[in-house]
A and B are shown apart, each in its own frame.
Chain A
């Protein structure tokens, strides 16, 4: 079969679609190859390297090989200053699937890699803790171990709950 002819696309039905028989098939133009090269560099090098440099390796194909763990402790205080512990699992019940999975069982150290990201979203979590606990203020303490040998990094988020937030369901 002539190569040029074979490059004219055929639909799976075996009948060429009208109009396709007549176009000229030319080698890929240079801009197209530049696009392909750029895409390859982004996907194969830049994205993984970027996530590697930020310390997470989250886009660097680190599946089934991480040893990270984290623990989240939440303490709420009512108007009288009375202190109560709030389990992250209680927050999970009010959250979307991704947060539900991350927070479920997080009262004890669990082997999961979301600790680093939870650190970034601690203010949002504090807001959720305010809504759920209806407390006057909350304190969130996240302990994140990046691997088995590193000591836990501790992040603390303190939040004064606004009256409106307390009224939210």
Chain B
């Protein structure tokens, strides 16, 4: 398998992963599990209920956009007209989200953006029922890498505030619906620990982007990033955001053989 094919395959895995997460987050597929933050997905995420609304679009058009977003997400995941379905899914999704300005949440922001970005790569040219024509752009993987690195960067920068660095903000999240569990209780058992952990999180997020982008440090930065999201999943239950990030981190999984490996592989 050539390097490009392997890289396209990784992008295609990401397309399928992000598409599945989007479908799980915007439709009632997980409703039987009674997950609190998925209550609003019946019949579809953003479906108008008839109450007082801040929406600027009429009800029928919001309903149509919800259906369009779901169909486009399904086609995108299956790899049918991936470029068009990805963009339509993302744009329709954002239009629905704009109707509920006070209900914005980062998971859906991440998924819609990821869908649009992946539609502009060769992710839609492999593992697809009807593959799109590959464009063979050298920027494909780097577009996704820059996206992931920017998320860590902005998240880290936002934490450079006195009330985060001294651990007080972390304390605000110490409640059953946010940060909970034995591990978290241990964190708050010592008064100096929250401040230390808050500083470590900020430092980790600020450094993860560059460390992931730099090839030499990627081998330890990638496991560190996965570990961060797994710990957050276990302690903070952050919607599907962590899973989305773990799918997007696939763009850093090495696909090409290094020069030294090639030398060693030569007969």
Please determine whether B101 and A121 come into contact, CB atoms closer than 8 angstroms: yes
Q: Which of A12, A44, A96 contacts B53 (CB 8 A)?
A: A96
B116 at the interface (CB under 8 A from A): yes
Q: How far is the CA of A99 from the CA of B49 in the complex (A)?
A: 12
Q: How far is the CA of A35 from the CA of B140 in the complex (A)?
A: 11
Please determine whether A67 and B117 come into contact, CB atoms closer than 8 angstroms: no
Q: Which of A35, A94, A111, A131 contacts B172 (CB 8 A)?
A: A111
Please determine whether A99 and B120 come into contact, CB atoms closer than 8 angstroms: no
Q: How far is the CA of A10 from the CA of B178 in the complex (A)?
A: 44
Please determine whether B127 and A37 come into contact, CB atoms closer than 8 angstroms: no
Known: A17-B130, A62-B154, A63-B238. A149 touches B54 (CB 8 A): no
**Interface size band for A:** 35 or more
Closest to A118 in B: B102
Known: A23-B133, A67-B164, A96-B51. A148 touches B169 (CB 8 A): yes
Binary flags per residue of A46-76, CB closer than 8 Å to B gives 1, else 0: 0010001000011111111111000000000
- In addition to A64-B238, A98-B54, 8 A-B residue pairs with Cβ atoms within 8 Å of each other are A11-B129, A27-B136, A60-B158, A67-B161, A99-B51, A101-B102, A148-B169, A149-B162
* Cross-chain pairs A/B with CB under 8 angstroms, 19 sampled: A1-B5, A10-B126, A11-B128, A12-B79, A12-B129, A28-B138, A32-B137, A33-B139, A35-B120, A58-B104, A61-B106, A65-B164, A67-B163, A94-B51, A96-B53, A96-B54, A96-B55, A99-B51, A149-B162
**B residues apposed to A, CB below 8 Å:** 1-2, 4-5, 8, 40, 48-49, 51-55, 79, 100-104, 106, 109, 113, 116-117, 120-121, 125-140, 143, 146-147, 149-151, 154-155, 157-159, 161-164, 168-169, 172-173, 178, 232, 236, 238, 241
**A residues apposed to B, CB below 8 Å:** 1, 3, 6-7, 9-13, 17, 20, 23, 25-29, 32-33, 35-37, 39-40, 43-45, 48, 52, 57-67, 91, 94-102, 111, 114, 117-118, 121, 124, 128, 131, 147-149
